Chains A and B, each alone.
Chain A
Amino acid sequence: MGRFIARRLLGMIPFIFLVSITVFLLIKLTPGDFVSNYAASLAASGETVDDSMLADMRTRYGLDQPVIVQYWDWISGVVKGDFGYSFQWQQPVVSLIGERIGLTLIMSVSTLFFTWAIALPIGVYSAVRRYSWGDYFFTMLGFLGLAIPGFLMALILMFVGVSVFHTDVGGLFSPEYANAPWSWERVVDLAKHLWVPMIILGTSGAASLIRIMRANLLDQLHQPYVDTARAKGLSEVTLLIRYPIRVALNPFVSTLGFVLPQLVSGSVIISIVLNLPTAGPLLLQALLGQDQYLAGAFLLLLCSLTVFGTLVSDILLALLDPRIRYQ
């Protein structure tokens, strides 16, 4: 097992290297660079733009170098933990993204557990009481959850929050904790705010997981081994938990690999709508302003996060299912 994990971890290195190249090329695809963008905004506000100053800026930021040199400078810094310098914020990228990536991770992972916590019992219920009113209700709810885009749900919740409860549901912290150092009170404050994005983000994921769980369990419920166990006098609940649910859980774990990218992806857009201090708003700004190292760091870390999720799901699956060989 240890060797299996070590081999998979080693296999991630070329993968992330590939991700870094893709991400950097994506950012460099945009015509122009940060300096030309900056010059355009200066010109738009009516200031005179001095060409020699722009050339100086390019040299200072290393934007006059060929793409390959820029990439090499960036990636050799990243390996040492230095993600470069943000032009827009005039700060090292690390100081900008540290907490935001952390909060994105906390939000995605807690949503993941929330999704499982809802989808598992509902999926089991829907399968055991197939075609009951409850099953139809949850199926309908699941379809709605899949059909309503996350940002629309965020807008609706915001509207309900303002018009009915007269509170702002946006943000992850109350104003007094927004810039405070981490403390127990701040964690509690975070937990109080986290449920709104958690529900919005979790709904569509939960909807598809309920369908997967229901289908998997239905496949198992009519297997001969279930009849055998029932004939031997096992109580219905024990029987369900001990055999079919355990088997049906396998694909559940393997969905981790694609649910995590979806969650990270969804969190980006929802955090822009709800103005959360996570990766989303800053990433969009950085992309539009061609702040290449800031955007690059976000994209690289978000992609690595999802690749890592796939790895965790593979390892969990190998632990859970004896049929999977560690080859």
Chain B
Amino acid sequence: MSEAAIAASPLATASEAQLTWLRFRRHRLAMFGLVVMLLLYGIAIFAEFVAPFSPDKSNARLVFHPPQAIHFIDDAPDGWHFRPFVYGYRLARDPKTLAAKYVLDGQRKNYLKFFAHGDSYDLWTLIPGNMHLIGPEDPAQPMFLLGGDRQGRDVLSRIIIGARASLSIGLLGVANSLLLGIIFGGLSGYLGGRVDWFIQRVIEFIISLPTIPIWLALAAALPKDMSPLTKYFCITLIISLIGWTELARVVRGRFLALRSESFVTAAWLDGCSRKRIIFRHMLPSLTSHIIASVTLAIPAMILAETALSFLGVGLQPPAISWGALLKEAQNVESIAAAPWLLLPGAAVAITVLALNFLGDGLRDAADPHAH
């Protein structure tokens, strides 16, 4: 390439952030993870609007209603229409066992529409509304896209509302861990010597403990009459108390590695102040690694909350999170009767998978020596 061509190439003048973004975009799975996560957090933020019903609306006559598939094209007598609908179900009795069961009724179509008016809600407890992304045209008709639970509540709506607690616990927990990790990791890497030795021993101690028994013990120690919101923050705190060690190790390791990099030495020889070296030279190359580690740490937090709530020591009903929802599917009988109660687990798996892809891509993109 001639000199002029190099100068004209956009890569020649791209900043570090632009280069990272270019490298990241080439990682297809990571882009996929990013899109999925943006979508999931979007859903969690506007949960009341996206959910077709109120998560607490129960109906004793629609217990364990099976999932209904959406049909988009309506084959009416006067031709084809784009008009989404679901086929209705009716309750029938098994002639032999007399057990109640749902039978698909091919004649009855319950029409749906987008931006339907239904259960009223207060978005973020501030903005009142009753519009839902999708809902039945006639609000009295049932619509169970992912089935109903043992009180006839809509599983889809509960999963969507549960996303808010589950996804935000991941973010809050990681923010907590990051704070602890940066403080202790930074101190360890910056001061060195005895402080470093002591902090490293504490971290080794925490890492060698099995996490779930310790979490159980901590969560079981919370008073039983706590308000859901306080409990939420306590659980977040408990999860991050164990989670910070990994991040502290990353921060310390990067700090030590960067200290001996030639560009830091060069900056030092140029007479840069310590403040300028840390904030202008070291921190920018530290942040990308920290962002990657943080992304990879969120799934562990989400899984921890799910496990604790599932065991009954985390978030408790009426609070809704994916783990608390899975608690309904704890015994074989209810899973056999309504396998769709396991679907909150699918939400957990999709989130963790997407975050892992995203974190992997970020880590690769953050490494300037990778090809």
Q: Interface of A with B (CB < 8 Å)? A: 15, 18-19, 22-23, 26-27, 29-31, 143-144, 146-149, 151-152, 155-156, 158-159, 162-163, 168, 170, 257-258, 261-262, 264-266, 268-269, 272-273, 283-284, 287-288, 295, 298-299, 302-303, 305-307, 310
Candidates A152, A288, A302; contact of B342 at CB < 8 Å: A152
Q: Are B208 and A257 neighbours in the complex by a CB distance under 8 Å?
A: yes
Give the CA-CA distance A151 to B323 in the complex, in Å.
Answer: 11
Q: Are B213 and A268 neighbours in the complex by a CB distance under 8 Å?
A: yes
Q: Are B311 and A269 neighbours in the complex by a CB distance under 8 Å?
A: yes
Q: Are A155 and B335 neighbours in the complex by a CB distance under 8 Å?
A: yes
Give the CA-CA distance A149 to B309 in the complex, in Å.
Answer: 13
- The residue among A148, A149, A264 with the most chain B CB atoms within 10 A of its own CB is A149
Instruction: Encode B198-220 as 1/0 by CB contact (under 8 A) with A.
Output: 00000001011111111011101
Binds A, one of B45-53, B109-117, B138-146, B299-307: B299-307
Shortest beta-carbon distance, B358 to chain A, in Å?
12
Give the CA-CA distance A6 to B357 in the complex, in Å.
Answer: 44
Q: Which residues of A contact B213 (CB under 8 A)?
A: 264-265, 268, 283, 298-299, 302-303
Q: Are A306 and B210 neighbours in the complex by a CB distance under 8 Å?
A: yes
* A261-B216 contact in complex given A144-B349, A151-B310, A152-B345, C-beta closer than 8 Å: no
B326, CB-defined interface residue at 8 Å: yes
Q: Are A159 and B299 neighbours in the complex by a CB distance under 8 Å?
A: no
Give the CA-CA distance A19 to B214 in the complex, in Å.
Answer: 11
Shortest beta-carbon distance, B64 to chain A, in Å?
15
Q: Are A149 and B335 neighbours in the complex by a CB distance under 8 Å?
A: no
Chain B residue at minimum C-beta to C-beta distance from A288: B220
Shortest beta-carbon distance, B32 to chain A, in Å?
12
6 shortest A-B CB distances, which residue pairs? A265-B210, A147-B352, A152-B345, A265-B212, A30-B221, A287-B220
Main secondary structure of the interface of B (DSSP, over half): helix
Q: Interface of B with A (CB < 8 Å)? A: 205, 207-214, 216-218, 220-221, 223, 299, 303, 306-307, 310-311, 313, 326, 329-330, 332, 335-336, 339, 342, 345, 348-350, 352-353, 356-357
Q: Which residues of A contact B342 (CB under 8 A)?
A: 152, 155-156, 159
Shortest beta-carbon distance, A39 to chain B, in Å?
14
* A27-B209 contact in complex given A151-B310, A163-B336, C-beta closer than 8 Å: no
19 residue pairs of the A-B complex, CB under 8 angstroms, read A15-B205, A26-B217, A27-B221, A30-B220, A143-B356, A147-B348, A147-B349, A148-B348, A148-B352, A155-B329, A162-B336, A163-B336, A261-B207, A261-B210, A266-B212, A268-B212, A287-B313, A299-B217, A310-B208
* A149-B307 contact in complex given A15-B205, A302-B213, C-beta closer than 8 Å: yes
Candidates A18, A31, A147, A159; contact of B336 at CB < 8 Å: A159
Q: Are B218 and A29 neighbours in the complex by a CB distance under 8 Å?
A: yes
Shortest beta-carbon distance, B165 to chain A, in Å?
16
Q: Which residues of B contact A287 (CB under 8 A)?
A: 216-217, 220, 313
